Structures are given as structure tokens and as C-alpha cells.
Structure 1
Amino acid sequence: MSLTRSTLLRGTAAAMAAALASPAIAQPLERLPLTLNWKIQGLHGAFFLALERGYFRAEGLNPDIVAGDGSANVVNRLAGGAFQIGLGDVASLVRFNAQNPERRVKAIYNQTPADLVVLSLRGRGISRPDDLRGRLVGAPVGDAAFKMFPAFTAATGVPASAIRWEHMAPNIREAMLIQGRVDAITANEGTALFNLKAAGVREEDMVFLRYSDFGINIVNAGMMANESFLRDKPETVRRVLRAVNRGLVDSVANPAASLDALMRKDPLLNRAIEGERLMYSIARMVEQPDAREGGLGFYNEASVRRSIEIVTAAEGLPAAIAVSDFMDMSFLPPASARVIPAVGRV
């Protein structure tokens, strides 16, 4: 009996030791709804590349990455709680935070400067802002360029009231321009330009009234999160940004891999057009002064302050919010992880 007991004890001790020595049972991944700013395209490949390469999984995350319906709407998605983190339009963030200081959304990773534009086609009689008076301009209600039209008004003297507006779903905006159902559209250039090219319109037949040509230079797309999420789950936020940043670094260094991931997500996309759009987005991301100064994701306080001032004036807000009410860079990965790599080719 004593031998049996001794054997059992030794067996139990050995089993316990083996259990302690073996890897811990994998914890379930944290599900995370993440909203993009627009339909899946271009630089969004970085998110799916990060997903495919296990960067989110390595951080214990299982993101549900969904398309957006306008970057200006992302702030409302985040503030409403359906999503806690996403890629959105910072001009809308300024407006929202000024009006809702008790439930702010904050920018946490800079991606690209604004490329807001009013776009028409040759032969429509539009070549300067004054030509828009009395014309029919198409704009999805969530479009960032439409939301920022008051800044265009301030810079050009063309009021929104002098224009006839047609609102539509984002996916038919360029088609309506091509068909002549509207005379011009508001858009992000990187979206409309390549959508029109995909439809067979030559770039030389497009007419661009770029907001930046009229002094409207603002930071634009960036990762953002609602303030309660930043407060309650700071480590989750850091893990998200580490994964996203790795995907963006890889996309810059190897755009072809990013494009492959994008096409696997949506095989119906036009690979050639999305490759052009990807390179356009990468160029804007890495060539902006903020990124050159502090690496990917970095916000320069002076450029943020100027953006806040432009949006405040355009929106007629009572006072400009503080830079600290707009952004929080404490969640960024270390600078060594955000160094801009040499840009590869698709």
C-alpha cells in the first residue's frame, strides 16, 4: 500500500511540474470592432497585412475591421460607442470635441494630411472657385470635403448658399459626375481620382480645386479613439497601435505585400488602380513634415494648432480647443519602431 501511495505521489508531483513547465494555455483574443474611414481601398491594405501576418494576434487582439461611410462620420461612430477606435477625419474631431467636451474623441496616430478637393471634368465650365456659383455639386453627407466647405468659403469667397447641392451615397458619387448628373463633387482626392480612373476617365480630363491650393492645410486621416476607451483600456490602445504601426511600416517597405492583402480581402477591386492609390497614400504619409520630423504617426503641435484654428474659423465655433483636447501621443509605439523605411514598389 505504501509503495502504491509513494508512486501516486511521485506521479502527481511529476504531473504538476510538467504543467508548470509547459506553456500557459492561450488566452482568448480580445475582440475589437475597428472602423475604417471609407470603403476598403489603398492604404487600408496595411490593416489587413497586419492581420494576415499575425501582428494583432501577437498583441492578443481579434479586430473586426469594417469599412466606413465617410471619414467625417467616424467620430460619431466612436462617440456613440459602437466602435472605440478607428481611422477618421480630424477636422470632424475638432468640431465634435468643441461641442461635446464631456465625451471627446482624440487623435492618437497621424496618417496623412488632408487632400480635400472639389473635382469637376473638362468641358463642364468649372476651372476656378467662382465657377461653382449656381452649379450642382454632389457630396455625400459624411464627406470630409463637404463638411469642411466653410473653410473653402472663407478662403475663396464662394458661399455654400451660392451652390446647389445633391447628396448621394458614396458609392455612386463619381458615377453621377461622369453621367453629368452633377457638375462637380467634393471628395478626398485620393478617393475620387482613382475611382474616376477606374471608370475610364483620364487624369488630364479632371479639374481639381484643391483646398490646399487656397491655404487650407490641415491634418486629415488618423487613428482615433473615444476618451473613455483611452482611459479605461490604455494597454489595449497601445497594443492596437503597435499592430497597426507594424502593418504600416511593412506596407511602406513592401507595397506589393500590402496590395496582395487588400486584394485577398476584396478580390473584386481593380488591382492596378488600387496599386496607384496605395502609392499615392504612402507618398502623402511619409512625405508630410510631421512624419519627417517625428516618424510615422507623429503629430507636430504647431500643425495641429493651425488645423484647429482653420476648422474653428470654418465652423464658426465659439473658441478653439486646446491641442491636448485634440490628440494624445502617449499611446504611440517608440520612435525606433516608427522610423520611415525606404519606400518599396507595388
Structure 2
Amino acid sequence: MPIRHPARRRAAVTAATACVLAVALTACSGTTKDSVKQDDSTVGTDTSTAASADPDAPLKKGLKLAFLPKQINNPYEKIVDEAGIAAAKEYGATGKEVGPSDASASSQVSYINTLIQQRQDAILIAANDPNAVCGPLKQAMKKGIKVVAYDSDTAKDCRQLFINQASSEEIGRSLVQHLGEQLGHKGKIAILSATQNATNQNTWIEFMKDELKLPAYKDMELVKVAYGDDADQKSFQQTQGLLQAYPDLKGIISPTTVGIAAAARYLSDSSYKGKVVLNGLGTPNQMRKYVKDGTVEQFSLWNPEELGYLGSYAAASLASGQITGAEGETFKAGTLGEYTIGKDGEVILGEPTVFDKKNIDKFDF
């Protein structure tokens, strides 16, 4: 069952957070909006904010939605997508999941082209790269297909909405804060990320680095950002490599569900268990045994089922003309209630949950 957080339902992005996030996204991106071909630069506007929203319009029946995750075998994204597909049935639509088996920058492009040919009503994408997917996504919008990014954003003019799991600043800073408390704010630390181009990972890491500049962390040193490419075995090997290169390493932050599980597996069977603190983002079901055997004290995540559910209703609202993606518009997301669209088409699900021995058995996902 999805976790319910009634107090969060009217979530909106504050101007300050949105501005900081916009700067971080620009810093992480390989290209800028100015580098996009001129004839495509207004596609997002033409298909969204230039249109007129009808908040009283009913959700259309028979809509076709396609979820395109970073990679088809990612257990976290499987939860998100299955929840979104189930939500589609609530309002008389059909959903499906398609995607690559690897998380390379351009691996999603061919799938977008196929979905355009299939005339899907909406494409929901967790982007492996913010810019590599822009060309085909803009073509999709030209043909009237709605585009919703979730979990990991595209460049903002390549979609109408971005469904963000939580404030990017809150995620990045809180992970450093939690690890700092566990380490007594002393020692060398490393980050085990997903791919080098992942928008969400890079944004969180920028906020982590900014948090580490504060006086409270003067005795903590970030020695390495490693990349496991959201592949279990590579993430396992990267963890091993970090500890071999830095035998005095005190902590690891892994803001990826694949990475934190692989790192925990390595630590649990090594001499570093209980000596190296691991924190990051994971699901309760994959991390439960590592919490109970003492490998991991705590980790964080939002409810991925709710993320998929919210994304599904947002896409349907776009495809039905209830919203265009403009700041300030509102829509209802089934049992989750009403949401408000923030700056740059961002919709925030809510605050992440911290899991530990005391509460982990209350969750099943």
C-alpha cells in the first residue's frame, strides 16, 4: 500500500529552491538551451503553456501512456512504473513499460522514436542524460504527445512536466547531514553514484558538495565520486575499489538504490563491516537485511509507488487538457490529492523518509 502523507499534498516549489535547482541543473548539463537548434527551441512552449487549460475537463478514456525508465531491469524503477501503470487503470487508460537494459546516455533514444510511431498519448521518462533525449522528445511534443519526466529530469524545454520525488536540495544536503552525524563530522568520505550523466544524481551531488563547504564539516573530506552505472556488479566492484584506494575511508554515500544495495553487500562480508558507515537512497525490501545485521544504520527514500502514481495522473491531466504545465496550475492525483505545478513545470512529491531498525518493518516496497 502507498504511504500517505496528507500534509504534503499541496506541494509547490518555493522560488528560492527552484532558483537554486535551476542553477544546479545548468552546472551539471553538458549543453545549454542556447545550443539547441533554433527551430526546436519553442517546441515546449508551443505544446504546453501556449495552450489553454480547462481544469474542469474530465480525464479522457482510453489514453495510452508509456513509461521509459533509465533501464528496464532497475528494481526501483520497476516499482515506480508498475504503480503508474496500475494508476492508469483507475481512470480508464492503458500503460506499459519499455526501455533499455543499460543506462547509457543515448540508450533511450530508439525507444522514444518507436513510441512516437505508436502514437502514444504521453511518454513518461526517467532520463539517463538531460540532453541526449531532447531531439526525439521535442519531435514527440510536435506531434501532440505529452512528455513528463520523472525521477531524473531532461533539459526543461524537452518536456512539459518534471515529477520530482523530493526537493533536490533537501535530498543532497540531508544525506551529508545524516552521514556527518554518524561520523561525528570527521573522516574521509566517498560518493558512489549511478552514471556520470544522470541529472538527478549530479544535482544531488552538487548540493552535497555545497553542504560540505559549511564549517561543521571542516574535518570531513570528500576524496572520490565513483560511478557504478546503476549496474549491480560494477557498483560492487567500485565499492571494493574505493576501500582499496582509501583504506582509511570512514563513510560512503550512495544516492542510488542499485549502488547502496551493492555497497551494502560488499561491506556485509568484509572486514569493513561496522567500520565504514554507508548511507544513501534505497528501498526497504532490498536494504532490510543489511539494517538488521548492522551493516547499515539508516538510509532514506520516498515512496516509489507514489512517484509512479503521481506521474501517471500528471500525464493524464496533460493529455486531457486539464493542465498545460504552466506554473500555478493545479491537478488532482487520485488518492494523493491535489498538487500545484511549480517553476519550470516541476511538481514535488514530498519529503523523503528515513528508514532504520525502528521503522523498516512497517514498509513493504
Check whether TM > 0.5.
no
Give TM class, smaller chain: 0.3 to 0.5
Q: Which has the larger radius of gyration?
A: 1
TM-score w.r.t. length of structure 1:
0.40
User: Relative to total residues, which structure has the larger helix share, 1 or 2?
Assistant: 1
